Amino acid sequence: MAEVSSFSRLEIACLEGRLQSVRFRQKSFHSLYNIIQTQSSNIKDAIAADTGHTEAEVTLEYALAISELRSHYDELNLEEDIKQQHSLENLKATTTNTGIVYLIPSKQNLFYSVISALTASLAAGNCVVVELPTTLTQVSGLLRKMLPSALDSDVFAISSTRPPQDFLSKCQVVSQAEEDDDTLSSSAKVVAIVDRSANVSEAASIIGTSRVSFNGRAAYAPDLVLVNEFVADDFLFHLVQAVTTPLSKPSNSTINHQQRSSPKAQSDGVGQIMKELESSEGVRVVMSGASGNIVEVKDRQKAPLGRRIEGRVILVCRITSLDDAIDLCNGLKTPLQASYVFAAPTEANYLSRYTDARISCTNHIPAELLGNRSICTSTSDDSAESISTLSDYSVPVPTT
């Protein structure tokens, strides 16, 4: 009954246009930022306890969340809003909000998934409902305490169960959940292409890190790596180094998580993939170990190129030319979810232009994509750029 009452308050606030006020949205962002900053240690400990991620990965997720909050806050221009309100005619006026956003966050990197979509929705002037079922995960429990205390109950609510359809029909449903996300089904693929004109050692380091980070569960890590045959041996050499070099020491919470987890359960997914690949006559195992697995495709006709890869497994296939890479990518039945092109500008432009992919990034893999299942939550112009530092993230306080 309490949730139904909260939904009614959101509908009233939506009709009244409470979030049309830029000042109100700014205050909401300040309150949200303050509680995230105050609870930073608890947030990081909760993430590490739930996921077993390393200290660097936990810090990255926290920093990405703060970066999203800051980016969306910067979009709020109080001075411009006042000018528009006093103008006789506003030629720039557009309708950007949808009213109420119902968010179903991903279980993977839960904290970042919630904060990124929540801040984007608030910045656009929407009321928000976040679906957080009652579970034993620490991040979920912390969010259930933090968010209601930071945000006005007239514009924000948490739902422990899926509301009735008559309420959902009034909302814009944003689903990042694996079971509900058709765009990240087993048919969607992510491919990295390394041309002979690329910085091979840097490409190997970036690709290897993306595949083994977050326990190999990053949604937008490459499922297949296409490497020009002239630099393939050099690439594999640097890729082995990238995979076997630890990114950082595990935190105490990470060690405790690993001790509680079953080693068999952790290796079942990777073991199943490796068993499938090893049983194929068209592949060669370059390396296999706890830090990661590298498998090279020797025969495209016999290798399972059309499947999604989960876990710390990197599938590498040699290509003969740019057109060979394009034909192989476009022949995977469905458009690519993302493509990462490592090449000189001219070659990168050619590959990006003719490869059928939802997004394409050149010479880097954005950290934002590795931390989230949805690529549509950020409205910042900088959303396609990787973050090079994990510190000095703050929300500027406007003068009154």
Q: Work out the average pLDDT over 75-80.
A: 81
pLDDT in tens, 134-170: 888 999 999 999 999 999 999 999 999 999 888 888 8
Grade residue 275 by pLDDT with cuts at 50, 70 and 90.
Answer: low
Of residues 384 and 363, more confidence is placed in 363
What is the structure's pLDDT at 384? Answer: 29
What is the structure's pLDDT at 271? Answer: 65
Grade residue 180 by pLDDT with cuts at 50, 70 and 90.
Answer: very low
Asked whether residue 269 carries a pLDDT value surpassing 80, the answer given is no
Ordered domains of the chain (ranges, CATH): 1-78+95-177 (3.40.605.10), 189-245+269-371 (3.40.309.10)
Of residues 370 and 209, more confidence is placed in 209
> What span, in angstroms and rounded, lies between the C-alpha atoms of 116 and 68?
6
Asked whether residue 44 carries a pLDDT value surpassing 90, the answer given is yes
Contact status, residue 176 vs residue 106, Cβ threshold 8 Å: yes
Q: Which helix (H) or strand (E) holds 45?
A: helix 40-51
- Which spans in 223-262 are helix H? 232-244, 252-260
Q: Work out the average pLDDT over 188-213.
A: 92
Of residues 331 and 273, more confidence is placed in 331
Q: Which helix (H) or strand (E) holds 342?
A: strand 338-342
Q: Work out the average pLDDT over 226-246.
A: 91
What is the structure's pLDDT at 132? Answer: 93
Grade residue 396 by pLDDT with cuts at 50, 70 and 90.
Answer: very low
Grade residue 258 by pLDDT with cuts at 50, 70 and 90.
Answer: very low
Grade residue 181 by pLDDT with cuts at 50, 70 and 90.
Answer: very low
Grade residue 202 by pLDDT with cuts at 50, 70 and 90.
Answer: very high
305-308 long-range contacts, Cβ below 8 Å, gap at least 24? 305/224, 305/332, 306/189, 306/332, 306/333, 307/186, 307/223, 308/186, 308/188, 308/189, 308/223
Asked whether residue 218 carries a pLDDT value surpassing 90, the answer given is no
Virtual torsion, Cα 126, 131, 134, 139, nearest 10 deg: -70
Grade residue 373 by pLDDT with cuts at 50, 70 and 90.
Answer: low
Of residues 84 and 269, more confidence is placed in 84
3-class SS of residue 32: helix
Both tokens assigned to 259: 């001790």
What is the structure's pLDDT at 391? Answer: 29
Helices 110-123 and 22-38 meet at what angle, rounded to 10? 160
Grade residue 367 by pLDDT with cuts at 50, 70 and 90.
Answer: confident
What is the structure's pLDDT at 115? Answer: 95
Q: Specify the pTM.
A: 0.76
> What span, in angstroms and rounded, lies between the C-alpha atoms of 112 and 139?
10
What is the structure's pLDDT at 276? Answer: 64
363 burial type by CB count under 10 A (0-12 exposed, 13-18 middle, 19+ buried): middle
What is the structure's pLDDT at 35? Answer: 96
CA neighbor of 317 nearest in space, from 228, 244, 243: 228
3-class SS of residue 334: coil
Both tokens assigned to 45: 């400990």
> What span, in angstroms and rounded, lies between the C-alpha atoms of 255 and 321?
45
User: For 108-117, 249-258, 291-300, 356-365, which range has the lowest pLDDT when averaged over its residues?
Assistant: 249-258
DSSP state letters, 306-326: TS---SSEEEEEEESSHHHHH
- Angle (CA) 329-193-215 rounded to 5° is 100
pLDDT in tens, 87-131: 666 666 555 567 899 999 988 889 999 999 999 999 988 999 999
Contact status, residue 192 vs residue 226, Cβ threshold 8 Å: yes
What is the structure's pLDDT at 290? Answer: 78
Adjacent-strand bridge partners of 199: none
Most confident of 86-90, 121-125, 266-270, 331-335: 121-125
Of residues 174 and 375, more confidence is placed in 174
Grade residue 371 by pLDDT with cuts at 50, 70 and 90.
Answer: low
Mean pLDDT (the chain) is 80
Grade residue 84 by pLDDT with cuts at 50, 70 and 90.
Answer: low
What is the structure's pLDDT at 107? Answer: 85
